[in-house]
Amino acid sequence: MASSTALKGTFAQTNQWRVVDIVVASVIAVAVGVLFFAWSAGYSGISLLTAAFPPLAGLYSGGWLIAGVLGGLIIRKPGAAVYCEVLAAAVSALIGTQFGILVLVSGLIQGLGAELVFLLFLYRKWNLPVALLAGLVAGLALAISENIMYNALWTIEFKVLYTVFAAISGIVIAGLLSWLAMRGLAKTGVLSSFAAGRTADV
């Protein structure tokens, strides 16, 4: 009984946010929020290219999922994926993204997608497969929400294809690229205050 209590205490202490966690998570979110704004601006051009087959736009959607996956991989604390994704969405909204205030809803849903994967592994595994899975689930969350909010008039076939393409984009852009970015940052030493900068699985 005592060992169980001690284990729970250790887990709670390990997963408690520090000031440096909040600061770095905020920096990540703000930086990616600016990227979100640029990514949203680029969506206009993508829309022209995909006009004949709209579901292909799903392949572009992974860029909006980076904050949650990258934030989760670096901070490694409960809520990091949601915090980073929502704050990044808020930054893009403040700058003036074309999608307006609805990006906050999207950010919450997409952040929860990545967060659920990290929770599934009890915030203890941070390797490439976990990163790819987080990107995948975030992509699925994005597709489902956007099929409801933006693609309601599409055929079911278009919605399914959009979901498949968004999942692929989530794996490659949000999952793989975020993991590579985390590894790259770890090698520079800037993550020395984090487990991401010290553990072998980075």
Residue 8 belongs to a domain? no
| Structural domain count of the chain | 1
Residue 31 belongs to a domain? yes
pTM, full prediction: 0.90
Residue 158 belongs to a domain? yes
d(C-alpha 125, C-alpha 133), whole Å: 12
d(C-alpha 173, C-alpha 156), whole Å: 25
Residue 119 belongs to a domain? yes
What is the residue range of 35's domain?
Answer: 19-191
Digit-coded pLDDT (tens) for 43-100: 888 888 899 999 999 999 999 999 999 999 999 999 999 999 999 999 999 999 888 8
Q: Confidence class of residue 6 from pLDDT cuts 50, 70 and 90?
A: very low
Digit-coded pLDDT (tens) for 121-180: 999 999 999 999 999 999 999 999 999 999 999 999 999 999 999 999 999 999 999 999
d(C-alpha 126, C-alpha 15), whole Å: 14
Residue 4 belongs to a domain? no
Q: Which residues contact 137 (CB under 8 A, 6 or more apart)?
A: 113, 114, 116, 117, 170
Residue 168 belongs to a domain? yes
Residue 12 belongs to a domain? no
Phi and psi, residue 193, nearest 5°? -85, 0
Residue 1 belongs to a domain? no
Phi and psi, residue 200, nearest 5°? -70, -20
CATH of residue 155's domain is 1.10.1760
Buried b (16+ CB within 10 A) or exposed e, 93-105: beeebebeeebbe
